[in-house]
Structure 1
Amino acid sequence: MADKKKKKSFLNRWGLLIFYIGMLLLPIGTHIWRHWQIETEINRTLHSTEVHQLIEKQLKREDPKAFQTGGKIQSYTINYDSKKINPMGGIMFELYVNGDKELSISEILTKNTATNEYSLISSVSKKIQELVEDDKSE
């Protein structure tokens, strides 16, 4: 009889311990899972053709001859390591023009939920301004 009580007490303690550990790990696991989902959605968005077309359109506003012979802007690269969520909504990331890190553009990508369209807010580096102004003054 004492063995059964001792065995039952032992199982109850381990059961409670496992329960408490599970209660601690559940919120942590949920947080990690949610973070992974957000990262996946951000990556999917930044790799989408819609966003790339929007970026190219914006770069062509800066340099009308962009991506053509004689244009100052020939290519761009998204720095995926710089991506983060903007506290006011949207995704912040950086672009490098012509493979030069000094020719950078800071972007905020937002989505209008009513129209389901993306828009960009940009901050262009001084070097890009100088590069494009040289082209306009010629």
Structure 2
Amino acid sequence: MKRKPIKKRQIVLIIAGICLLWIGGTMYMNHLKLEEEMIKIVESEEAKIVFEAGLKNIEPKALTSEGVIKSYKIDYESIKRNPMGGISVQLIINDNDELLAYNILNRYMINGQLGELENGGGGWSNALDKLLKEGMDDSEEY
């Protein structure tokens, strides 16, 4: 039995397939590397300072025994690149998945050098808003 010769069209398709697999693999590896870098930034001491300052802006007594916001943890599923720049991340407050604080971490270039990490915006969930209003004294302003 004779083997059929490989046609030029088959060779081109095989080469194109290999190229597509190579490009796809490279893009996937770059995506994983970007995710690792974002997680490193979010877990950094600098980010912790930004998160805690943001929580204290929401509630001055946050992270104390007197405050409504007792603790927070990073929601790793929420970490993603923000289309407007920076890293979007949610904080879960008091181990309650309904109590969320939203943050966008930014770092700008200043005179060719990377500046400090800062909070580029955010907000909080309705459930957290309700809890904060319930926990305030009548003399406090929200």
Root-mean-square deviation (CA, aligned residues, Å) is 2.6
Cα distance per residue 1:72-116 (max 9 Å; x no partner): 111001101011111111111211111111211122111112151
Can you list the C-alpha shifts for 1:28-74, whole angstroms capped at 9, x where unaligned? Answer: 11111111111111111111110011101111122222222211111
Moved over 6 A (4+): 14-18
2: CA distance, partners of 1:89 / 1:67:
28
Q: 1:100 to 1:41 in 2, by over 3 A?
A: same
Percent of aligned pairs sharing the same letter: 31
5+ residue gaps, structure 1? 1-5
Which residue identity is paired with 2:82? N
TM-score by length of 2: 0.77
State the distance in 2 between where 1:16 and 1:101 align.
Answer: 52
Q: Greater RCO between the two (CA within 8 Å, min separation 6)?
A: 2
The Cα shift of 1:20 comes to 4.3
Larger radius of gyration: 1
Aligned-partner residue type, residue 99 of structure 1: D
Task: Count how many residue pairs are aligned between Structure 1 and Structure 2.
Answer: 132
Please say if 1:122 is aligned against 2:122.
yes
1:88 pairs with 75, 79, 84, which one? Answer: 84
1:1-138 equivalent positions in 2, closer than 5 A: 19-114=15-110, 116-120=115-119, 121-133=121-133, 134-137=135-138
C-alpha distance in 1 between matches for 2:132 and 2:17? 59
- From the two aligned structures, give the one with the greater helix fraction: 1
- Give the distance between the partners of 1:37 and 1:83, measured in 2 at CA: 14
Give the Cα–Cα distance (whole angstroms) in 1 for the partners of residues 21 and 86 of structure 2: 30
| Letter in structure 1 aligned against 2:109 | T
